[in-house]
Amino acid sequence: MRRFQLFEFNEAAWLPACLRALITDYLVCLCRVTRAFYQRLPLLAEAIRHAPRQDRVIDLCSGSGGAWHHLAARLDRMFPHRLQILLTDLYPDPRQRQVGHDQRLLSFHPEPIDATNPEDQLAGLQTLFNAFHQFPPGKARLVLQRAVEQNQPIAIMEMLQRRWAMLPLILLTPLMVLVLTPLIRPFRWWRIVLTYLLPLAPVIITWDSLVSWLRCYRPEELLGMAHELDASHYRWEAGSYWYRCAPVTYLVGYPFEQRQTARDQTLSASGRANAVVATAVPTASR
């Protein structure tokens, strides 16, 4: 199935903040309901343990905070020290200024952060939830390359799979928007109006869901990008799975001091039954 780089409303600089919030708040609710990323939390914890700074997570393209509203406390319990999770975005959500007061693990960066800008120094695990598909291949490699050049771990998690099996879920998106909207917090009357009276939310979210599906990278494509980097000291794992009827595609890479042989990598990955691409340490391809 071919990948298409089409237009998404969520990326448009001209999109009003209230319409962008329809999309990002829906994703927060969807992540909370499905808990789709729980299965790879141990892998995120492993990446943090190999980070030069083991107490910090930098979330790129955060939107409204995405998965971190329900993942933060669960991941924090895996460490003896307190984690700091910094939410960043190219279009910062001003409502997130209150996050740091409401949740002790999350803080908000008020200035725009471009995930492809190599000049921004980001110490800690760099994460992108439901956002990596927005980048065309050239810019997607820049995101990975910056993490490698800064010797930081990186985790890409998408509640997407570019497979025909996901098409029924895409077709159900308008119904899911109608069902989940009352569960979105905080409750806003304007969201009800833009969902049920003037149904912009079902239209915009369905379109972006369709385009995100067509843009999503497959595990072998993600691992292929990692192989193109000069990152022989990195360990990479890419794969996909289904959890609570939610499809997930992921790539996680982190600096690994002791290089493992290809046979060791295959053996270590054999226990991950849901991974479709085994862990691999790429050699420099330049």
Q: Report all structural domains of the chain as residue ranges with CATH numbers, in order of start.
A: 9-164+213-280 (3.40.50.150)
Q: Identify the helix (H) or strand (E) that includes residue 34.
A: helix 17-34
pLDDT of 16 reads 93
What pLDDT score does 125 carry?
Answer: 95
Flag residues of the chain having pLDDT under 50.
100-102, 258-274, 276-286
Q: Which are the contacts of 102, defined by CB distance < 8 A and separation ≥ 6? A: none
Yes or no: say if 161 and 238 are a contact pair by the CB < 8 Å rule.
no
Distances (CA, A) of 3 to 75, 133, 136, 172, 190: 32, 10, 10, 21, 35
Segment 8-20, tens digit of pLDDT: 999 999 999 899 9
Tell me what pLDDT residue 101 has.
43
Looking at residue 136, its pLDDT comes to: 95
Amino acid letter for position 269: A
Q: What is the pLDDT of residue 98?
A: 53
What's the mean pLDDT when you consider all of the chain? 86
Contact by Cβ (8 Å): 87, 110: no
